[in-house]
Amino acid sequence: MAAKTLMVQGTASHVGKSVLVTALCRLFARRGVKVAPFKAQNMSNNSFVTPDGREIGRAQAVQAAACRLAPRTDFNPVLIKPSGERSAQLVVNGHVAGQLEASDFGRIKRDHWPAVRDALARLAGEFDLVILEGAGSPAEINLRDRDIVNMAMAREARAPVILAGDIDRGGVFAALVGTLALLEPEERAYVKGFLINKFRGDADLLAPGVKMVETRCEIPCLGVVPHWHDLQVPQEDSLGWEDQSSCSRSLHGSPFTLHEFLTIGVVDLPAISNFTDFDALACEPDVRLVRVVGPITEPLDALIFPGTKNTAAALRFVKDRKLHLVARQVLAAGGKIVGLCGGFQLLGKRILDPDLVESSEGELEGLGLLPVTTSFARDKVTVGVSGRHPASGCPVEGYEVHMGRTSLDAGAVPWLEVRAEGEAALRPEGASSEDGLVLGTYVHGLFDAVAFRRVFLNGLREVRGWAALPVQSGMALDEQIDRLADFMAKHLDLTAIEAMVERGL
């Protein structure tokens, strides 16, 4: 391989691998290194659309931005999108490559290992450094023969590995030592250092444990990274959804008291997808997000039905939990209902799936909150779009990833106007009820648009009789990545990490 390599693996999911790779990508890019990210296989419903209309994991799109590159499928050649506990949609090189059942996950390596190797080889021929990310834990020994993303990838890339552990969930020393103990000797040889992530408290108290791990495992600690409460870089998987609204729920440093907060409910649907659609709302100083899984007594200013990879299962969940009644309570109080992608489909009158693309049911009765009908097709729509919100004139931008096509019936009007790159004219998109209280769209990332987000929130504030707030400048993703890189630079031994890269294996 022409490029040098570095890999971040973890003791478990959600230990911070994606965020660490993002920071390292930016830190090396700042040094003038031509760097690219790579994750062979990603399991996430949090996806992104590349400029050429293909689909990759959202984390790799963010890592590409950290490298100041446009996203491409070589950064994430295999994407698994779970639709149930034992089933998933398989995306290879950005295109749907069929369905997966839990019993046959081994066919990914059997059928698509060449595509993974080819993607890595292309990056290695173009860049000075490729920073790889693992998935879950390399110590999942029951899956070792099917591995294409952890140690199998480290061997292929000849990449020195940093092992990250999450102390916030407890047991970090056991996780680090146990992970290394379960690796084969030749695999352990790839691990050149470890770090501890999400620490709260006095790092000096960790010193005896850190020293013991260094001695027992014969590798150095490369940093102890504190827990960052207001991290705004999009995260990879739905485990991040647990902490997603943490920055908006804290009153510390906010100019608002609790009774001045807007409260927006987000339905916690099965196979929730693209939960980063709410990041921008969660970090507004006057917004609280709350997870909704059943009837609640707390008044809501708005209720959002998010995207889902399994619309049929999500519809059953909503009806079983009586969440459609929660929606009607919100409407009765003058609040708004928003459906995003799969959530948009749920709000309609009917969902048709004649070819059984997403479920075993050809027709389902929707919630009837929006006069639209959705029909599923075999071809997936994956496209980036930009346009405007006609009622306010505010610009909007985002991307669409969906199998369904939704048509408007009498009583619905388009909500947005958008166009894909190369299209000359704006086209109607989404739907609004005639009174403007029920809204639906396929555009992910809609609330990232600062002016549009403020107009939406000011509409909620108006119902309460509050004064409108001015448009805030917000912080662009590039600035957020710079903040992340600055933060990590204070707590990582970058000299040792750079030496690892130079030495290689």
Active-site pick, 221, 247, 341, 394: 341
Q: Which residues contact 493 (CB under 8 A, 6 or more apart)?
A: 220, 221, 222, 223
- Please list the residues that pair with 81 across neighbouring strands: 89
> Minimal CA–CA distance to 48: which of 29, 64, 24?
64
Closest CA to 223 of 208, 202, 205, 203: 203
Catalytic residue status for 221? no
Could you please report the per-residue DSSP string of 158-204?
T--EEEEEEGGGS-HHHHHHHHHHHS-HHHHTTEEEEEEEEE-S-GG
The C-alpha angle 171, 175, 177, rounded to 5 degrees, equals: 120
Q: Which of 112, 402, 444, 491 is catalytic?
A: 444
Cα dihedral across residues 162, 41, 77, 477: positive or negative: negative
Which two three-digit tokens encode residue 373? Answer: 């009908």
Report CA torsion sign: 408, 414, 415, 421: positive
Taking a C-beta distance cutoff of 8 angstroms, is the pair 410, 443 a contact? Answer: no
CB 503 within 8 A of CB 6: no
Count the helices and strands in the chain (H runs, E runs): 15, 27
286, 383, 385, 426 from 423: Cα distances, Å: 37, 11, 10, 8
Alpha-carbon distance of 303 to 327, in angstroms, equals 7
Cα 416 from Cα 147, distance rounded (Å): 43
Which residues on adjacent β-strands are paired with residue 364?
Answer: 351
CA dihedral 248, 252, 256, 257 (to 10 degrees): 100
Token pair 């379960």 is found at 182
Nearby residues of 185 by Cβ (< 8 Å), 6 or more positions away: none
For the CA atoms of 56, 352, 444, 298, the dihedral, rounded to the nearest 10 degrees, stands at -130
CA distances from 403 to 143, 376, 500 (A): 30, 6, 44
Least Cα distance to 230 among 293, 285, 171 occurs for 285
341 annotated active-site: yes
Q: Any alpha helices (H) in 272-415, and if so which ranges? A: 279-282, 311-320, 323-332, 342-347
| Residue 451 backbone phi and psi in degrees, to 5 | -65, -45
Active-site annotation, residues: 341, 444
